[in-house]
Amino acid sequence: MTKYIKFFLTTVLAVSLLTACAFGDRRPPATLYDLGPLKTENLSRLPAGMPVISTKVHAPEWMNENLMFYRLDYVNDQQVRFYTESSWNSPPSRLFKNRLDTYLVAAGSTVTGIRTSSPTLTLRIYLEDFSQHFSSPSDNTSRIVLRASLFRGRDLVAQKRFRKEVVSRTADAQGGARALAQSSDELIVEIMNWMAERSE
């Protein structure tokens, strides 16, 4: 009987430890953010859409995650950090591409990933930065830096580096998400007007 009780207690203890290992480290699900709906005031600033265009957005390997990145520039501006309880619902490159395509369609463009018989305009974007920068514990801006290259067929038409910073209202992930959404919208309007001038 004593051996049975010892075996029973040992089994219960083992199961309890396994359960603790399996469920004890589980964190609450992260708060997910995206860039939100299009701002109607931006639509009036868009140029006439280009007939057919293909878009490609790339980013450094470290940015190909859903993580929301930030830097404490006043401590070490070379160290990339990320929020542990908040994240994007897609990697920044995908968020930006989807936003860009939506604006292009709103302006009357046909966005396609398929080659056509006519020389298709291709916009290639390389994201260099898409993060929140803190100059102090309470002061921060959301920054997007990218390089845009416009091609007609295989010929390079134009290339330009863009940078946009927007002050975040709050020093947290929510403030960063809102400011990065605003930065994205304003930057896309600039890119589209630049494209319209260069593609004529």
Torsion of CA 92, 93, 95, 98, to 10 degrees: 170
What is the structure's pLDDT at 16? 45
Q: What is the pLDDT of residues 105-157, one digit of tens each?
A: 888 888 876 555 555 789 999 999 999 999 999 999 999 999 999 998 889 99
pTM score: 0.81
Q: What is the CA radius of gyration of the chain?
A: 24
What is the structure's pLDDT at 118? 56
Average pLDDT over residues 2-11: 47
What is the structure's pLDDT at 112? 78
- For the record, the structure tokens of 71 come out as 């830097």
What is the structure's pLDDT at 138? 94
H or E element, residue 164: strand 155-167
69 has a pLDDT exceeding 50: yes
Domains of the chain in sequence order: 31-198 (3.40.50.10610)
Lowest mean pLDDT, pick from 63-67, 98-102, 120-124, 161-165: 120-124
What is the structure's pLDDT at 14? 44
Q: Which residues contact 82 (CB under 8 A, 6 or more apart)?
A: 67, 68, 69, 70
